[in-house]
Amino acid sequence: MTALFVELLAFQQLKTARIQNARRILVYGLWIVITVFILTVEGVRGSTVFGQFLVVFLSGVLVAEGTAILLAVLSILANYLAALLESGPGLLFGAGLPSLASHWALQAGYLLLAVGLVMLLARSGQAATAERENNEDDLLERLDELSVAKAQLEISERNLRRREGVLAAIRDAAELLLRDESLEAAILGLLADLGASTDVDRVYLYENYQDAQGKLSIRLKHEWVGDLAGLPSERANANARLEEIGFADWSEILRKDLVVRLQASNAPEPVAGLLRECGVQSVLAAPIFSGETWWGIIGFQQTRWEREWGPLEEDALRGAGSILGGALQRRNMQAELNQSELRYLGILQDQFDLICRFSPDGKLVFANDAYLRFFGLRREDLSTLNVWSYVQPTHHEPLRRRIASLSQQRPVLANHILTRRGDGVMVWMDWTERGVFDHNGQLQEVQSVGRDIDQEMRLRKQLEENLARTENLAMTDALTGLLNRRAIMEHAEAEWQRSDREKSPLSLILVDLDNLKKVNDTYGHLAGDQAISYIASVMHGSMRRYDWAGRWGGDEFLLILPGADSRESAMIAERLRSKVNSFSLSDGSTLQVRVSLGVASRDAQHKVPDLEQLLTQADQALYLAKQKGRDQVALAGE
């Protein structure tokens, strides 16, 4: 930035110097013209006039402007006295010798002109100096502005680097987990990277469990602690019931997939006391869900100062919690997969590998009994057989190329090939070919070991299909078949962003089954489940093809209406309410049910800053509908 300032200053000085030089050239040009004029017009007397003109001009240029003025005045007076002496007393301004008066006046004019040129040159220098000083002041002000902008840019870049560090930590952890690395090591690495990138003092991971009395408790699974003056109290690491340590509200908040922020200075007792005892100033905690199950807590602690948590830290925790939840879910699914693979390996142990040797052109040289049995061959026919007869025709050319690529540097190849069994059935075989070379490196034979992997391939395909179904189930509510809370929230966020981009309306409808507790108490929980399923089916039948419906929790449902304004969403809500009537229970009896609906919209008449506010408005409208007597639709803002 200093270099830029110097360059700008030099440019301005150069510009000023050029202007000043132009003025000097003009003055000197005038001086030359006047000099030539004096010497040409005045003749012999011109030398005296020129000498005086030159002395006055040079004194102003080389000495000072005042000196030039003084010399000019003295020269004019001297010329006047000389003219008087030459003409006699009183004649200069009398009637006689007018040429002497004219000559004296012309001399005075030349001298005054010299003074004018000196003053013009002096004023030009002063103007250039003032302009240069003004330019320097302007550039200094710009330099101050650039310094402020640079400081702001450095702050933005520092925040960006922190965010990039958080994203890199989460990305690296995801890669470790996806590469089937040790889950424990990956978690520890993730906690360390999170702590380093967010500059927190402690990153912790607690797991939920039920104690002997069936109470919800937590236990420390992993933690990362930074370079602190003092570590938290051992009590912070102990197993504890949430209600006993004053965190009973946490379970309700975290179950709703919300984040907990806490500062020791404004926390209620006994929480504040526990934080002080542990040396903790600020806490930020987020839930970890494995599928639909609240598994535990991941959080930050600050011990050196009281910290205000921002979006960066919250996004980091949520991202890490989502990855860990997915990893835990995958670990459970991997355990199921491993059990299936173990069962499959038990089957493989009861079979024999197929072994043969053949020449590079495919002629069989040796085959064991398992090979012969598999292909239904007789040993006496071995010399007339060719391996290409038992390979699917579409695999001939690729296999020939692979065998031709065998070398002493790469002597082994593995292939999965559809192979025709002796009974004509095509099965998947895992073939491993090893080249046998002579002393010149020429391929002499290929030893092939085959293993029947047909069942493994079928199992793997089935497992992949099961995995796809499991992933689909992880996004749906088991009872209703609608989207679960996390999935419907993801769709709500996506539709909110699209509404932002396209400037289109967006409406939410919260639906609540009226008097579900009464249904459960009167008819049993099975009837309550059937009532919830009935409402879900009515919602599904009332949706437009681009709407989204999900179970929000318990007896509440959320309906997302992209492109619908407040008027259209109110009509849809009323139509849905009117469709809810009665249905038949599994025992044949009929149950009458009703719903209350709260509608909130974001459109030209209703400006809503964010999705959370829109959800809050829908919830308030639902509460209003219940207050008015249930079985009705209420609009936000009524």
| Every domain of the chain and the residues it spans | 2-149, 183-328, 354-455, 475-635
Residue 155 has pLDDT above 80, yes or no: no
The tokens describing 210, both together, are 């039920």
Residue 97 has pLDDT above 60, yes or no: no
The tokens describing 33, both together, are 């013209």
Mean pLDDT, range 111-123, rounded to an integer: 70
Query: Is the peptide bond prior to 287 cis by the omega test (within 30 degrees of 0)?
Result: no
Q: What DSSP line would sit under 39-79, residue for residue?
A: HHHSGGGHHHHHHHHHHHHHHHHHT-HHHHHHHHHHHHHHH
- Gyration radius from the chain CA atoms: 48
- 548-607 per-position pLDDT tens digit: 999 998 899 999 999 999 999 999 999 999 898 878 777 778 888 999 999 999 987 888
If you average pLDDT over every residue of the chain, what do you get? 77
Rounding to the nearest 10 degrees, give the CA dihedral for residues 169, 175, 176, 178: 140
Q: Which SS3 state, helix, strand or coil, does residue 203 take?
A: strand
Residue 165 has pLDDT above 70, yes or no: no
- CA triple 482-485-490, angle to 5 deg: 100
Q: Minimal CA–CA distance to 175: which of 157, 163, 195, 189?
A: 189
- Which of 184 and 550 is assigned the larger pLDDT? 550
CA distance 38 to 116: 16
Q: List 549's β-bridge partners, or say none.
A: 559
- Residue 16 Cα distances to 8, 94, 215, 591, angstroms: 12, 52, 84, 95
Q: What burial class does residue 145 get, using C-beta atoms within 10 Å of its C-beta: 0-12 exposed, 13-18 middle, 19+ buried?
A: exposed
pLDDT confidence of residue 367: 83
Q: Of the spans 225-234, 441-450, 506-515, which averages the highest pLDDT?
A: 506-515
- CA triple 416-419-421, angle to 5 deg: 145
One-letter amino acid for residue 285 of the chain: A
pLDDT confidence of residue 230: 54
Mean pLDDT, range 241-264, rounded to an integer: 74
Query: Is 366:356 a contact under the CB 8 Å cutoff?
Result: yes
Q: What burial class does residue 483 get, using C-beta atoms within 10 Å of its C-beta: 0-12 exposed, 13-18 middle, 19+ buried?
A: buried
pLDDT confidence of residue 106: 67
pLDDT confidence of residue 215: 80
Q: Minimal CA–CA distance to 595: which of 564, 574, 613?
A: 574
Give 216's pLDDT tier (boundaries 50, 70, 90): confident
pLDDT confidence of residue 44: 47
Query: Is 453:347 a contact under the CB 8 Å cutoff?
Result: no
Q: What burial class does residue 637 get, using C-beta atoms within 10 Å of its C-beta: 0-12 exposed, 13-18 middle, 19+ buried?
A: middle
pLDDT confidence of residue 253: 81
pLDDT confidence of residue 63: 65
Domains 183-328 and 354-455 share a fold: yes
Q: How many C-alpha atoms does 562 have within 13 Å on its Cβ side?
A: 19
pLDDT confidence of residue 417: 79
- Residue 475 Cα distances to 78, 97, 470, angstroms: 112, 122, 9
pLDDT confidence of residue 249: 72
Architecture of domain 183-328: 2-Layer Sandwich (3.30)
Q: Residue 525 belongs to what H/E stretch?
A: helix 525-542
Residue 508 has pLDDT above 80, yes or no: yes
Q: Minimal CA–CA distance to 231: which of 187, 185, 276, 279?
A: 279
Q: What burial class does residue 82 get, using C-beta atoms within 10 Å of its C-beta: 0-12 exposed, 13-18 middle, 19+ buried?
A: middle
Query: Is 327:227 a contact under the CB 8 Å cutoff?
Result: no
Residue 208 has pLDDT above 90, yes or no: no
Q: What is the CATH number of domain 475-635?
A: 3.30.70.270
pLDDT confidence of residue 562: 95
Q: How far apart are the first and last CA of the chain?
A: 58
CA distance 370 to 357: 13
Mean pLDDT, range 466-472, rounded to an integer: 71
CA distance 374 to 462: 25
Q: Minimal CA–CA distance to 551: which of 529, 568, 578?
A: 529
Residue 305 has pLDDT above 70, yes or no: yes
The tokens describing 21, both together, are 């030089």
- Residue 307 Cα distances to 79, 197, 313, angstroms: 90, 15, 11
- Which of 58 and 322 is assigned the larger pLDDT? 322
**CATH fold of the domain at 354-455:** Beta-Lactamase (3.30.450)
Q: How distant is the alpha carbon of residue 397 from its chain centre?
A: 48
Show the beta-strand stretches assigned E in 102-161.
none
- Which of 178 and 161 is assigned the larger pLDDT? 161
Q: How distant is the alpha carbon of residue 87 from its chain centre?
A: 100
Mean pLDDT, range 139-148, rounded to an integer: 75
Q: Tokens 């031709």 identify what position? A: 404
Provide CB contacts within 8 A for 452, sequence distance 6+. Answer: 351, 354, 374, 427, 428, 429, 430
CA distance 328 to 482: 24
Q: Minimal CA–CA distance to 318: which of 259, 263, 254?
A: 259
pLDDT confidence of residue 513: 92
- Which of 95 and 228 is assigned the larger pLDDT? 228
Mean pLDDT, range 325-339, rounded to an integer: 78
Q: Of the spans 70-84, 163-177, 472-486, which averages the highest pLDDT?
A: 472-486
Give 101's pLDDT tier (boundaries 50, 70, 90): low
Residue 8 has pLDDT above 50, yes or no: no
Give 112's pLDDT tier (boundaries 50, 70, 90): confident
Residue 183 has pLDDT above 50, yes or no: yes
- CA triple 332-335-341, angle to 5 deg: 150
Q: Minimal CA–CA distance to 578: which of 595, 559, 602, 600?
A: 595
- CA triple 587-593-595, angle to 5 deg: 150
- 477-506 per-position pLDDT tens digit: 888 889 999 999 999 999 999 999 999 999
Q: Which SS3 state, helix, strand or coil, does residue 583 take?
A: strand
Residue 567, phi then psi, degrees to nearest 5: -65, -45
Q: What is the pTM of this model?
A: 0.35
Query: Is 216:241 a contact under the CB 8 Å cutoff?
Result: yes
Q: Which SS3 state, helix, strand or coil, does residue 486 take?
A: helix
- Which of 208 and 495 is assigned the larger pLDDT? 495
